[in-house]
Structure 1
Amino acid sequence: MFKINPYRPGAGLMPMYIAGRDEDIESVEEMFNALSMNIPTPSIVFSGLRGVGKTVLINKLQGIAEEKDIFCRHIEVEERNDFISQIATCSQAFLRKVSAKEKFKHLIQKPLDAIKSLVVSFDANDNTFSLSLQEKELYKSNSLTQSLTEVFVNIGEIAYKTEIPICFFIDEIQYMKQKELGSLIAALHRTNQLGYPVMIVGAGLPKIYKMLSEEKSYSERLFVYKEIGSLTYEQSCKAIEEPAKKFSVEYSKDAIDKIVDVTKGYPFFIQQLCQVVYNNTNEKTIQKSHIENCMNDFLKILDVGFFKVRYERCSDGEKRFIFAMVKCGELPCTISNVAKNLGKKVKTISPTRAQLINKGIIFPIRHSELDFTVPEFDNYIRRLGEYKQWNESGLDE
């Protein structure tokens, strides 16, 4: 029999109640108010581990921006996808919106030419424009930064003249190629200098702060950085209790304490555990014993649906690097300790470290320290038979 469940674990799924993000939402909403008044405003980037609700947050913010008649588009950057084609498509969509109004049609051609130049030069697989060989040569450009800046400046000028501000919501920024990221920063910087209402709300793993600051020195003034972490105890209580209130279900104090202890306050884990418990409990008051009875099911779902998919993306050498991190005991750990656990020199394992960072499995903290981008990933590894066998055998093969 189907049972309505108020909890919604999943990649970017909007929970019935967003806990602990009120201050962030209110702050960005004020930015949107400025943008709606044609006042350029800093862009904002949220960083954090997997499962802390970054995508949920920017999806919520996009809904708020759309209510204020800001032109919005969502871009999810993928490892093997081309960001340029996506930003070009979003820019074209803005021009289509503007051209729907007769009095603005004359503004379209110049930015359209800029988009053509961007696509023709930097996205060979894009078939958006059907151009002759002569036209393709005409639109070719040698500089990605120059081409992307032309696009942003031109659509920004139209946004200003038509009073239709623009906000691009970019998720998984850490997968952007460094050249694309540098060009995006430069394009946004120039657009803001000219006073045009174009803004970016971005999200990604913790390494994006270093990526942005290393690419352009002025990026620290261009973006507001906000780290999104686990919820406090009070915020976790609301995430647990509020969705169930609509169904007249409550939690005992020790049940809440157990959930917070198990999930460490990570929003995705709270949603997942509460969903399992709610499905398997028919009482109006959920007790600690109900939580304990569902722990095996909860861990099994996490292991198969959340952890395993990331673990299986790793090569054998990368898995052994991960094993060596877990063997360090406490995280974050130094790369020298990882090398020691592998019986190798630091310089020989540095390429594997770089590969795992690029895949979004680990991230650097401070000097030479590493941690996993997925909360509780180390405990998942400890449950694996492969790890236990490797740990008992000693050094790397």
Structure 2
Amino acid sequence: MDVFRSLKSRNYRLFFYGQSISLIGTWMQKTAACWLVYRLTNSAVLLGVVSFVSLIPSLFLSPYAGSYIDRHNRYRLMIITQVISMAQAGALALMILLRFYNIPGIIFLSLVQGIINAFDVTCRQSLMMEMVENKEDLPNAIALNSTMANFARIAGPALAGIVLSTFGEDICFAGNFLSYVPVLISLFMMKMDLPVIVKSERSIWAELREGWQYISHDRDLSSLLLMLTASSLLVMPFNTLMPIFAKDIFNGSARTFSWFESAAGLGSIAAAIYMAQLKAGKDLVKILITSSLIFGLSLVLLSYAGWLPLALLFMTLSGVGMMAQTSAINTYIQTHAIPAMRARAISYYIMAYQGMIPIGSLLTGLMAQWIGPRATVCIAGLTGIVATIVFVQHRRKSQPAAPGIFPSSGKMLTNDRNSARA
């Protein structure tokens, strides 16, 4: 099938299968951790804190990670990050198996995972270009990667809901630890032919400045990253409050919470399949604008839904909008950034995406404590709509001065851009 064309590449196929299993384990653990923290504390603030510490390292470390990865063998680094992630998952699983319900301990291990992810996510994203043999299939591989992640977002919480209600949290944490085994097996089976890394004589800090200059002087990339930053900070963290929606607003259980996570995953996978089928020539910015409006409107409707099936429907639409928004930006960056700057460009994408969400999660938890979860989600949706309108107005003003901005083609405008960067 055309939608799976990037799986013809052996290395990407191995990566895809291994990560599919691991991500299900990750979402099982994430669902179980959120439920455990709220069950033990009944605190929206602590829910925000757990999300904050697990993602805040991306804000500070991602630019450094991008420069570091550009100077080293990405394949070896990915193996190292997966081994360390497995050790972290094992420590957390052991804590829960021994019934050592220590909230500061859970927060600390979440922070450790966040530090690992700052390097791991950037490494995986930048290595994808080398995994795919036919470079024209790269956008398809990016979309399939998102499909895989969002399938796990459906299967992981759904499975976690069953396991939580039947066996308890400890099995979810142990399952995540074991899920790293197929990832490592698939990585060791790869045959990567990476270009030789020429050791740079410049300091990594000089390369950090170079990466910042590249991003800030490219109007296309910088405007898209600003839009993603606004969404990650003010809109996406609404998900932090879903345990409250499930338990308090709809009087549900852990299984009800898993339905909310799975509904968002279902919408995300539908959007990812659409993105995987896109042909060259599709205007990614139009997709970004449409999906951002869908995202914001669905949150406004979700915030005042009084019937659980209707709330799950709006949650599904939020997954459609959020997935298409982030995937369009990710695809644009990976297909337009020059090779020497790809990891650094992706690191700023990770910074704008994962780095902003923890701050937003903390603010969302505090706001929910102050004005309530429904009003907080409504404000997030309205903010997303306003941010989209501002982005559109900014683009209209900038286009006359730069007619080549936001090309609909997936190909890079090498002549204009290289001359501008010289």
Shorter-chain TM band: under 0.3
More strand by share: 1
Which of structures 1 and 2 has the larger relative contact order (alpha carbons within 8 angstroms, sep 6+)?
A: 2
Query: What is the TM-score with the length of structure 2 in the denominator?
Result: 0.23
Query: What is the TM-score with the length of structure 1 in the denominator?
Result: 0.24
More helix by share: 2
Bigger CA radius of gyration:
1
